[in-house]
């Protein structure tokens, strides 16, 4: 049988994604005995993908490279030693760096995970980064899930922030959500409250809020920070004694500044989180437990993909350029749609 042809996005040098990324046809290689050919359905454009292409992400890339770190597809064909997958099944790519921005690909069976047919397309395509980051940050630092303790987060309207809110709702964790002020702030607040937010405050409202002083809600024991700068500093002021703050992003491009008394007399502690690093170290058992739970929540409609837009593969330049600029109040995520039949 003649080899099939794949259409792939690829870049030969680091730079501005709309300049360096181009579309290329390539014969799909022969299947090794442990390989699986996957007809891709969808793959998102994540901030980390953009930074990787720009050469700003601290992960080693061998050029030329196919971008894309997560995605969903249908099994097309399996190598002779692959037992647990068969053609037509829906799979997600669970290991970063596989290159998901192509319509047809050969992956090692170990980087694929079978998911239920009824799992939504956007949910499946974006499962491994934001929902997992939210899950881990709510699980690995403070027992907020077991004790229903209060969590505060900034950038609450981000893709990860929306997952945090939905998991908090599912796990009965009271949550306080900080967003930037904007003309459509009321619509944004309604949207987040509807997702499960307990309180939504603008950065300015956070400064003068008395919800903690008046015991409308307990002081947070866990803070999730993807902004940094003054916003993070305001969150620190409202934390409970011995609380922890987890930094997993720095959208303000400002560092986190911590007053000495917050360390000594309030006993706060500060950690970072990076999903890629977690994945490299975690056991299969821990990963499987997390994925199973997340997939179940998604199938039960307790956890939805963040606001997103499917873009035809041919229009990838438009999707890339839109991903580089903020769009809409929830930071719409662009998902490449490879046009395969689901």
265 vs 326, beta carbon nearer a second copy:
265
| φ, ψ (nearest 5 deg) of residue 328 | 75, 165
Cβ 31 to a second copy shortest distance, Å? 35
Alpha-carbon dihedral angle through residues 141, 142, 144, 150, given to the nearest 10 degrees: -100
50 vs 217, beta carbon nearer a second copy:
50
Question: Where on the chain is the footprint of a second copy (CB under 8 A)?
Answer: 58, 228, 247-250, 255-274, 277
263 vs 321, beta carbon nearer a second copy:
263
Alpha-carbon dihedral angle through residues 96, 97, 102, 104, given to the nearest 10 degrees: -80
Cβ 129 to a second copy shortest distance, Å? 13
Pairing relationship of beta strands 151-153 and 175-179 according to DSSP bridges: parallel
Q: Could you confirm whether 57 is annotated as catalytic?
A: yes
Cβ 260 to a second copy shortest distance, Å? 3
257 vs 296, beta carbon nearer a second copy:
257
Pairwise CA distance, residues 328 & 31, whole Å: 42
80 vs 263, beta carbon nearer a second copy:
263
Closest CA to 307 of 98, 145, 183, 165: 165
Pairwise CA distance, residues 298 & 104, whole Å: 26
Catalytic residue chosen out of the listed positions 57, 135, 316, 334: 57
Pairwise CA distance, residues 105 & 26, whole Å: 10
DSSP structure string for 268-307: -EEEE--HHHHHHHS-HHHHHHHHHHHHHHHHTTSS---S
Cβ 38 to a second copy shortest distance, Å? 30
Pairwise CA distance, residues 158 & 250, whole Å: 12
183 vs 261, beta carbon nearer a second copy:
261
Cβ 211 to a second copy shortest distance, Å? 24
Cβ 5 to a second copy shortest distance, Å? 38
Pairwise CA distance, residues 187 & 167, whole Å: 21
Pairing relationship of beta strands 22-27 and 199-202 according to DSSP bridges: unpaired
The residues assigned a catalytic role are 57
């Amino acid at each position: 049988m003649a080899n099939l042809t794949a259409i792939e996005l690829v870049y030969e040098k680091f730079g501005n994604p709309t300049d360096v990324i181009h579309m290329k046809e390539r014969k799909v290689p022969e299947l090794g005995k442990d390989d699986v050919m996957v007809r891709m359905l969808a793959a998102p454009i994540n901030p980390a993908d953009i930074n990787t292409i720009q050469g700003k992400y601290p992960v080693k890339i061998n050029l030329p490279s196919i971008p894309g770190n997560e995605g969903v597809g249908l099994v097309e064909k399996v190598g002779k030693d692959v037992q647990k997958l068969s053609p037509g099944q829906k799979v997600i790519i669970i290991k970063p760096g596989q290159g998901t921005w192509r319509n047809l690909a050969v992956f090692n069976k170990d980087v694929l995970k079978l998911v239920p047919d009824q799992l939504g397309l956007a949910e499946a395509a974006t499962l491994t980064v934001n929902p997992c980051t939210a899950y881990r940050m709510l699980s690995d630092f403070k027992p907020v899930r077991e004790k229903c303790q209060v969590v505060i987060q900034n950038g609450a309207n981000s893709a990860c922030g929306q997952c945090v809110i939905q998991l908090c709702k599912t796990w009965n964790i009271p949550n306080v959500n900080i967003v930037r002020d904007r003309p459509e702030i009321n619509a944004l607040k309604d949207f987040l409250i509807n997702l499960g937010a307990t309180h939504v405050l603008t950065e300015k409202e956070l400064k003068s809020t008395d919800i903690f002083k008046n015991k409308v809600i307990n002081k947070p024991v866990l803070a999730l920070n993807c902004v940094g700068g003054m916003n993070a500093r305001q969150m620190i002021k409202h934390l409970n004694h011995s609380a922890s703050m987890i930094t997993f992003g720095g959208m303000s491009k400002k560092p986190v500044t911590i007053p000495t008394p917050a360390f000594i007399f309030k006993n706060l502690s500060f950690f970072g989180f990076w999903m890629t690093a977690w994945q490299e170290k975690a056991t299969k058992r821990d990963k499987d437990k997390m994925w199973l739970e997340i997939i179940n929540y998604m199938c039960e409609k307790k956890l939805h993909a963040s606001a997103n837009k499917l873009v035809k593969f041919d229009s990838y330049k438009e999707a890339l350029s839109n991903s580089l600029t903020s769009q809409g109040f929830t930071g719409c995520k662009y998902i490449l749609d490879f046009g395969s039949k689901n």
